[in-house]
C-alpha cells in the first residue's frame, strides 16, 4: 500500500510584505484658501487693463499688486482711507 506524504510536491512560501502605506490626513474638499483678504473682481476697459499691466511690469509687481497700490493711494488722497 502506498503512503502519501501530504506535503509531497506542495510548495509553501512565506511572503512578508512591508507596510507601504502611511496614514494620511483626510483631504478637505474644495479649493484651498489663497489669501486672507476677500477677493474682489470687476470689469475694466481693455485700455485700462493694458495701462495697469504696463505699470505692473515697470514696477515689477503683479496686476493685483499695482491695482491695490493705485486704489490705496487714491483712497488715501481723497480721505477715505486713513494712513497706517
| Span 11-58, pLDDT tens digits | 556 666 666 667 777 777 887 777 788 888 999 999 999 999 999 999
Of 76, 39, 38, 68, the closest CA to residue 52 belongs to 68
- Examine the pLDDT at 9 and tell me if it is beyond 60: no
Residue 44 grid cell: 475694466
**pTM of the entire structure?**
0.56
Least confident of 13-17, 35-39, 63-67, 74-78: 13-17
User: For residue 19, what pLDDT is reported?
Assistant: 64
Nine cell digits for residue 47: 485700455
Q: With cut-offs at 50, 70 and 90, classify the pLDDT of residue 4.
A: low
Q: Tell me the three cell numbers of residue 75.
A: 483712497
Amino acid at each position: 500500500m502506498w503512503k502519501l506524504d501530504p506535503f509531497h510536491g506542495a510548495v509553501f512560501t512565506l511572503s512578508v510584505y512591508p507596510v507601504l502605506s502611511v496614514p494620511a490626513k483626510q483631504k478637505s474638499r474644495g479649493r484651498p484658501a489663497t489669501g486672507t483678504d476677500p477677493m474682489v473682481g470687476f470689469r475694466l476697459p481693455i485700455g485700462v487693463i493694458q495701462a495697469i499691466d504696463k505699470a505692473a511690469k515697470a514696477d515689477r509687481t503683479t496686476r493685483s499688486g499695482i491695482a491695490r497700490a493705485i486704489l490705496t493711494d487714491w483712497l488715501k488722497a481723497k480721505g477715505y482711507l486713513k494712513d497706517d
